[in-house]
Amino acid sequence: MKSDFKKATILALKYSVSLRKLPYFFLFQIFAMILILFPLLNLIDACYSSRIFENPIPDPQMIDFLVESFGYFFLSIVLVLILSSILTPTFIFNYMQYRNKKEDSLRYSLNHAKPYFLTVFGAFITMAFLVNIVGGIISMIVQVLGTLASFLMTLAFVFVIQDIIIRKSSISDGLSSSYECTTKNFPTIVTMYLVTILFSLVVTLLFGMPLIAVLSYSIAPLFGMLGAEMSHSALLATFASTIQSDIELYLVSFTTLLLGSSISKLFSMAFITEIYLQLRAKK
């Protein structure tokens, strides 16, 4: 069955900006960002304070601080992954209801997506291992081949979550089904992938303009200080001071960027699901 990209784009765009869907996904983006940001900043501070990359034998107390900081950061990633394993099947099921003009409240979708939470969580871990670990190992041998392998595996497994939810597949069946669908419709999958990337770039650029403007304003004074041969620490201190003085602008601009990210991710989720349904002739 030939894919209707125009229909998929229109449906996905309408879904991604729906005021009944977008605010909830936007709140998740904010929560996930906060959940990861503070442990990440703590880990960066631990690495900087311990000077682990400069001192081959750091202080034992700093090692404990590093391990603890890394533990908190790892835990935050796991928590975000768990939340994603709940929201992803919920929104995919919700999109199916939306495009078929059936009951599409998020509460209804959440209840019907519950059986897939654990399977989706396992699928996320499996795909991360295959794409990143296997691709990384190949990159250690031949970098270009590793990058290419990771890209091809990303395309091959693009429909795994959709297959688990729509066809009630296991992880292994979802992987094999997605691989089979990709190999049989490779030009369509590449086009679909390019559309999602292009949409993401355009939306990120538009919603990222306020942050770019604020960053430019903060960085501008630093160029005048470069000729004075100031130390890196002094430059960083000046930059940090500028950020603190304009913290409200940074919060507003970064929130705007997160809103754009939410629209982009909802679009990609809906667009990929729509193409999957068209290829599977599941209407």
pLDDT of residue 283: 44
Return the axis-axis angle of helices 171-184 and 143-156, rounded to nearest 10°: 100
In whole angstroms, what is the distance from residue 113 CA to residue 57 CA? 50
Cβ pair 280, 166 in contact under 8 A? yes
CA dihedral 12→13→17→20, nearest 10 degrees, is -30
Q: Where are the domains of the chain?
A: 5-279
**pTM given for the model:** 0.85
Cβ pair 106, 90 in contact under 8 A? yes
Cβ pair 253, 214 in contact under 8 A? yes
Name 38's Cβ contacts closer than 8 Å, sequence gap at least 6. Answer: 76
**pLDDT tens-digit profile of 199-255?**
999 999 999 999 888 887 777 666 655 555 555 555 565 656 666 667 788 889 989
Residue holding tokens 């900087």? 48
SS (H, E, C) 188-240: HHHHHHHHHHHHHHHHHHHHHHHHHHHHHHHHHHHHHHHCCCCCHHHHHHHHH
Q: What are phi and psi of 54, to 5 degrees?
A: -105, -35
In whole angstroms, what is the distance from residue 18 CA to residue 23 CA? 9
Cβ pair 278, 11 in contact under 8 A? no
Cβ pair 4, 278 in contact under 8 A? yes
The alpha carbon of residue 173 and the mean position of all alpha carbons in its chain are separated, in whole angstroms, by 24
In whole angstroms, what is the distance from residue 77 CA to residue 38 CA? 12
User: Tokens in use for 64?
Assistant: 């404990």
List per-block mean pLDDT (blocks of 10 residues) for the chain, which spans 283 residues: 86 95 94 87 70 59 75 91 95 94 92 94 92 76 75 91 95 94 93 95 94 79 58 58 72 92 96 94 55
